Structure 1
Amino acid sequence: MMSRVNAALAKIPRQTVIRLGWATGSFGLIQVFRLLNNVVLARLLSPPLFGLMLIVNSIRTGVELLSDVGINQNIVSNRQGDKPEFYDTAWTIKVIRGIALGAICFLCANAFARFFEKPELAIILPVIALTFVFLGFQSASASLLQKQRSVARNSILDLSVAAISLALHVALALITPTIWALVLGSVMTSAAALIASYLVIPGRRHRFIIDRVAAKEIMTFGKWIFISSIIYFAAVNFDRLYLAKQISLTMLGIYSIARSMADMMNMLVVRVSYMVLFPTVAAMDVTAQELRAKLIHARRIMLCFVAVGLACFVAVSDIVVQLLYDVRYETAGAILPIMLLGVWVSILSVVNDSVLLGTGKPAYTTMANAAKLATFVIGVPLGFHFGGVLGAVVVLNAGEVMRYIVLWAFSRKQHLGFGREDLGLTALFLVSVLVAREALSAIGLSGDAFSLFPFLDPSWWVR
């Protein structure tokens, strides 16, 4: 078995291995910073503050994505993306967009406060509006580095911002243990990211310019990104927005803790896929069959490690929550394991999505996210009605499955399908979860699989 793994690893290009190392290593450190930030803030701040910030971040993400034309994807995928006329045009569009989004967030603050019945939003959102302006003025350097597949320098940039964010949030929480620790921490982190973006490539400067040819190409490619972003926002944030109207801020804050830990696991593959896989595929000029042959070995090995690693985390996830957080967040330990099942399916989807996006097929991503959203709209209210928050999370997993099925169908149509491989990897993941959990149960460190996944017991749904 090990000889076959070593043989498969030997087929992966050395530069790809180095990039994967930087992407995964830096991601690990970033997640350590974020987890430490999360744990410390959870002890300094009360759960309702996290619930309120979850609403703020959902609004901020929504405002941002509802005008997304894929500036980063344009620079990475376009053959002229590294030409000054192209990336300066992209940067100019991004600046205009950032200022416009900041104004929208400022002007709509009262409307959001009335909709969510949270008067605090009327004061918080005008301050959060500054993050859009800072984001708009960020240099295109990160996108250019991604196009050049310079993962190391991009990783150093991300690590620096994550470390600054940790220091700022903790310092602010010690000074003022209120919602303003989270709000001002986000704004100041955005300002730090703006400054860092101009330091990562020394001497890189931008000029305000709108090149007609470049702008036309950006908008042509970006129309599908725009539509996809609207659907993506609704799909990713539907649970947050729905639950914000159904449960208390305290419970929403507990839910946000579980959601943030689940997202950490998903973000590893997202990072690797979009920093390594997407630009690599975009740079290739081969047939679909040749592309699949080039990807299959590295893809299989990477996802084998992810499957086993994620399975082990799923098996101990409720224990991890108990160790890291106080009793106020105990319910997060019941939510997290169920969320992580959906994370595995999401990981498979992200990998397939990156390949399709690299081949210039953003429309497929849009349709896959639309199927996921439709599942949420129909199923989440039903799941919440019959099973509460845990029932809603089960439906979220079903939405991820629907997204994967649609992407698989389009990938197969393009001769880029990995259905058999993914089925085997999923079996490996599920078996690993059960084996690891039963091993923990056998030595008395945890309960059995039913304690980890109570929805597997039919009587749970009819309580």
Structure 2
Amino acid sequence: MSSLKQLAIRGTIWTFIGYGSSQVLRLGSNLILTRLLVPEVFGLMALVNTFIMGLSLFSDVGINPSIIQNPRGEKPEFYNTAWTLQVIRGIGIWITCIIIAYPISVFYDTPELKWLIPALGLNSIISGFQSTSLPLIKKKVKVSISTSFMLGVQLVYLGLIILFVWFYRSIWSLVIASIISQIVSTIVSHKLMPEIKNRFTWNQESLKELFSFGKWIFVSTAISFFAMQCDRLLLGRLFPIEILGIYTIAFTFADIPIQVINRINGSVVFPLVSQLSDLSRQELRKKIIDKRKLILILGITLVVLLTCFGDLLVLNLYDERYKDGAWMLQILALGIWPNLLSITMRSVQLGIGKPMYGAYGYLLKFIYMVIMLPFITNIMGLFGAILVIAFNDIPFYLAVQYGLWKEQLLTVKQDFWATLFLVFLISIILFIRYYLGLNLTLPSNGFFD
């Protein structure tokens, strides 16, 4: 047990190092790109990535989580069968990109989409050939290796983007840089664990286990596409494309706490819970509740900072074109709290082999978005749309808590006190900010624009 604790500590430290470095690189490149490109480019890329991500989620059978969670994950017949499925899936995604590109370009009245979607979709074929070394490294909680790999790939990607955009200020610079970096990523992935030699394999027993675990991953991720991407899909239709670009900038910052916790969950919590899944629910819950306190403290700190001072971040880093992102960021940052509470336990549900509750949550979230976003937008305009999006994780949280109750891992009491502490901190800091004369940034054209 002490060795697992050491793995968790080392993994968490490396996760922080990796994520912190990643965000510094991302912010730096983002500031450069927003000065070289117009907001419409970011809106277009958001739409293209949304549809490609949707196809990925609709075809996701949990290949990597299955390798991490399954006791046979390190057997060649298992991970090679998983790799074969991964290759087939990548080719299928690209073919679908070609099929849907034209109808989407007509729907959004944006001709560029019919070429951008198939071009960027090539990444799905390339990534399909990535080595299964990546999930196997995570299974062993070797976070230092996976972190170094991701940072290296990101450096290549951002370096290429800045180089291409500097000389050719077009959205195609972003597409070409993405494809080249994906090729580099795939090649390097096969060097991480030289003993892993991926080859085409079709083992029936492994297939059965992959689909047994992956069926709920498939349902969950398919529904999650609509639930998590509804904002971009509907905003791109309800508002000018530049609004989507500004929203994307604001969301990128507001999503930082979720990304941090997700990194810890994926690199540390999920692999370790998979190894502890044979414990009684009472023992497992006790260990989780105790360690979860530290994760929640981190989450509270990040949410408070972004909610109370996020507008200053946007106003000082970006030019006048992006000023509406300031008030969007503060609302979105506060709204991620239910999601943050949920994902700290979502990985636990995956670790014990119970991914179905997340699927229920994403379905509820999708229904909420489809009904509330157009309705409130008609009444309150952009401000109302951002409010709806900000608090769209409450249905997801309720579904996850239902699953925790069923599995005797309920965290409502801890969540209540953490939420109370969050509200107290935000109230105090906003009062001090108001007292010092630093008023919050409001929508430039009023609440009901």
Shift of 1:462: 6.7
Instruction: Look up the SS of the partner of 1:237 in the other structure.
Output: helix
Counterpart of 2:375 in structure 1 is: 382
Could you tell me which amino acid in structure 2 is paired with residue 435 of structure 1?
I
- 1:23/1:155 contact within 8 Å kept: yes
1:135 aligns with 2:131: no
Q: What CA distance in whole angstroms lies between the structure 1 residues aligned with 2:204 and 2:381? A: 52
Could you tell me which amino acid in structure 1 is paired with residue 217 of structure 2?
I
Q: Which runs of 5+ in 2 are unaligned?
A: none
Shift of 1:461: 6.4
Could you tell me which amino acid in structure 2 is paired with residue 149 of structure 1?
V
Q: What CA distance in whole angstroms lies between the structure 2 residues aligned with 1:404 and 1:161? A: 33
Counterpart of 1:328 in structure 2 is: 321
1:353 to 346, 350, 353: 346
Instruction: Look up the SS of the partner of 1:14 in the other structure.
Output: helix
Counterpart of 2:389 in structure 1 is: 396
**TM-score, normalization by structure 2:** 0.95
Q: What CA distance in whole angstroms lies between the structure 1 residues aligned with 2:176 and 2:431? A: 44
1:183 aligns with 2:175: yes
Residues 348-407 of structure 1: per-residue CA shift (max 9 Å, x gap): 111111111111111111001111111111111122122222212212233201111111
Could you tell me which amino acid in structure 2 is paired with residue 292 of structure 1?
R
1:287 aligns with 2:280: yes
Q: What CA distance in whole angstroms lies between the structure 2 residues aligned with 1:343 and 1:160? A: 29
Counterpart of 1:422 in structure 2 is: 415
Counterpart of 1:227 in structure 2 is: 219
Q: What CA distance in whole angstroms lies between the structure 1 residues aligned with 2:192 and 2:78? A: 20
Could you tell me which amino acid in structure 1 is paired with residue 133 of structure 2?
S
Q: What CA distance in whole angstroms lies between the structure 2 residues aligned with 1:265 and 1:198? A: 31
Counterpart of 2:336 in structure 1 is: 343
Shift of 1:192: 2.2
- 1:345/1:404 contact within 8 Å kept: yes
Q: What CA distance in whole angstroms lies between the structure 2 residues aligned with 1:215 and 1:39? A: 45
- 1:86/1:214 contact within 8 Å kept: yes
Residues 100-119 of structure 1: per-residue CA shift (max 9 Å, x gap): 11121123321221122110
2:399 to 382, 386, 406: 406
Deviates more, 1:116-125 or 1:100-109: 100-109
Counterpart of 2:52 in structure 1 is: 60
Q: What CA distance in whole angstroms lies between the structure 2 residues aligned with 1:62 and 1:47? A: 23
Counterpart of 1:296 in structure 2 is: 289
Shift of 1:322: 0.7
Shift of 1:196: 2.3
Deviates more, 1:431-440 or 1:300-309: 431-440
1:125 aligns with 2:99: no
Counterpart of 1:157 in structure 2 is: 149
Distance 1:453 1:401, change over 3 A: farther
Overall identity of the aligned pairs, in % = 33
1:257 aligns with 2:249: yes
Deviates more, 1:202-211 or 1:327-336: 202-211
Q: Which runs of 5+ in 1 are unaligned?
A: 1-9, 455-459
Shift of 1:265: 2.6
- 2:332/2:390 contact within 8 Å kept: yes
**TM-score, normalization by structure 1:** 0.92
Counterpart of 1:38 in structure 2 is: 30
Q: Note the aligned Cα RMSD (angstroms).
A: 1.8
Instruction: Look up the SS of the partner of 2:115 in the other structure.
Output: helix
Q: What CA distance in whole angstroms lies between the structure 2 residues aligned with 1:461 and 1:321? A: 19
- 1:68/1:226 contact within 8 Å kept: yes
Q: What CA distance in whole angstroms lies between the structure 2 residues aligned with 1:181 and 1:435? A: 45
Q: How many residues align?
A: 445
Distance 1:453 1:217, change over 3 A: farther
Instruction: Look up the SS of the partner of 2:110 in the other structure.
Output: coil
Counterpart of 1:87 in structure 2 is: 79
Instruction: Look up the SS of the partner of 1:202 in the other structure.
Output: coil
Shift of 1:186: 2.0
Shift of 1:198: 1.4
Q: What CA distance in whole angstroms lies between the structure 1 residues aligned with 2:34 and 2:204? A: 49
- Aligned pairs for 1:239-258 within 5 A: 239-258=231-250
Shift of 1:73: 1.0
1:195 aligns with 2:187: yes
Instruction: Look up the SS of the partner of 2:392 in the other structure.
Output: helix
- 4+ residue segments displaced more than 6 Å: 460-463
Counterpart of 1:318 in structure 2 is: 311
- 2:130/2:186 contact within 8 Å kept: yes
Counterpart of 2:160 in structure 1 is: 168
- 2:8/2:269 contact within 8 Å kept: no
Shift of 1:157: 1.0
Counterpart of 1:457 in structure 2 is: none
Deviates more, 1:390-399 or 1:78-87: 390-399
1:213 aligns with 2:208: no
Shift of 1:199: 2.2
- Aligned pairs for 1:1-20 within 5 A: 13-20=5-12
Could you tell me which amino acid in structure 2 is paired with residue 353 of structure 1?
R
Residues 202-239 of structure 1: per-residue CA shift (max 9 Å, x gap): 34320101101001111121111111111000001001
Deviates more, 1:385-394 or 1:133-142: 385-394
Q: What CA distance in whole angstroms lies between the structure 2 residues aligned with 1:263 and 1:402? A: 18
